[in-house]
Amino acid sequence: MSSRDHPDWWRPMGGQNSQDSILERRSLIWNDDNIEDGTVPGVFSQAGTYEGKFFTRGCRGMIEMLQLYCIGDGADTITLRYSPHPCLGPFREAVITPAAAWAWQAFVIEEMWDYDSLFIWVYECEANVDWAYDAEEPYDGHESGDAGDTWADMAIRPFIRVVYTGETPGDVPVSGIINNIKIPNTSSDEESAVVYTDVAVWTPAVTVHGAGYCDLACLDVAAAANSHITFIEVECDGVRAGRWQLEALNTRGYNDDTQPLCLLRYAEDGACFLMITKLWEFRRLFRLLVFNQLANLPVVVWAYPTLLR
């Protein structure tokens, strides 16, 4: 009799232990003092921001919700952002409106998280919201004094939890060189703005928080006095990645077929349109800024970023 003639030929070797490895794990990841609803914490932050908690592994799976032990007034909100680790910009965010009692307040996520680690931090916190932490080991707190540009460790445990409806049982560690195949964990977006240039002042037009890349940006300037001397600047993670002036591009011979800088339309004191098809990569912040030395005029700016999600 062949192995396939046996009624249990398809069952994995090892019995129940192997079966457990393929089943969904519904779990809670946490590191706090197991505080219960209604208990006033020993220490808490009053409207504190840019402090967070880092779970270093075992976070891949279906996140059901984020939980924060906090109190509010039923109106003010607190915004949590999260990413795989402190060196990346936000992938997603959750906004919680805490009730007027200390409790584990939840924000429903119900989305897959494709990364083994998870960093969660307080991005915005309105005046009447307080959130709890303690200073007991093992510490997992981090803080930023420069709006998330850099992070330093803190000897605290923020009271933040993550509820999973489908946490993976773990990944096999790999040493050496392997082939990397992209998985569908990116999301494309369109960001646009109409802004007025302040004379001789760099004016932010488009700001994208997150990690990813942008390979298309456009600048549209309406006909007006000195429209043709307008600049556009690209910043990636706070560093200038490019700066161009419409007049200078025209003088150097750029036109509608000079990729990646295509001057589709140009006229002195007239309507001008620049399309840029260059690839910029960023880890936390992408910005487009505009500038005109002489004129206060309206400009339209577009960007088409692709972000890690």
Question: Is 31 among the domain residues?
Answer: yes
| Residues 145 and 201 reside in one and the same domain | no
Domain boundary among 140, 167, 194: 167
pLDDT tens for residues 97-125?
Answer: 999 999 999 999 999 998 999 999 999 99
In whole angstroms, give the CA distance from residue 232 to residue 274. Answer: 9
Question: Is 176 among the domain residues?
Answer: no
Indicate whether 244 pLDDT > 90.
Answer: yes
Domain boundary among 107, 137, 167: 167
Position 122, amino acid? V
pLDDT at 19: 58
Domain harbouring 199, CATH code? 2.60.120.1390
Domain count, the chain: 2
Indicate whether 246 pLDDT > 70.
Answer: yes
* Other CB atoms within 10 Å distance of the CB of residue 228: 23
| Residues 157 and 30 reside in one and the same domain | yes
pLDDT at 37: 97
Indicate whether 16 pLDDT > 90.
Answer: no
Domain boundary among 122, 137, 167: 167
Q: Of all residues in the chain, what percent carry a pLDDT higher than 90? A: 76
Question: Is 54 among the domain residues?
Answer: yes
pLDDT at 178: 45
In whole angstroms, give the CA distance from residue 288 to residue 169. Answer: 42
Reported confidence tier of residue 296, pLDDT bands at 50, 70, 90? very high
* Other CB atoms within 10 Å distance of the CB of residue 148: 22
In whole angstroms, give the CA distance from residue 210 to residue 92. Answer: 8
**In this structure, are residues 162 and 55 in contact, taking their beta carbons and an 8 Å threshold?**
yes
Residue 60, domain extent: 3-167
| Residues 163 and 198 reside in one and the same domain | no
Question: Is 238 among the domain residues?
Answer: yes
Question: Is 36 among the domain residues?
Answer: yes
| Residues 108 and 64 reside in one and the same domain | yes
| Residues 29 and 98 reside in one and the same domain | yes
| Residues 7 and 145 reside in one and the same domain | yes
Question: Is 284 among the domain residues?
Answer: yes
| Residues 85 and 197 reside in one and the same domain | no
Indicate whether 53 pLDDT > 80.
Answer: yes
* Other CB atoms within 10 Å distance of the CB of residue 206: 21
Question: Is 213 among the domain residues?
Answer: yes
| Residues 225 and 293 reside in one and the same domain | yes
| Residues 193 and 151 reside in one and the same domain | no
Domain harbouring 52, CATH code? 2.60.120
Question: Is 116 among the domain residues?
Answer: yes
| Residues 271 and 196 reside in one and the same domain | yes
User: What integer best gives the mean pLDDT of the chain?
Assistant: 89
| Residues 131 and 260 reside in one and the same domain | no
| Residues 209 and 113 reside in one and the same domain | no
Kindly give, in sequence order, each residue whose CB lies less than 8 Å from that of residue 239, ignoring residues fewer than 6 positions away.
Answer: none
Taking CA 116 as the corner, what is the angle to CA 115 and CA 118, rounded to the nearest 5 degrees?
80
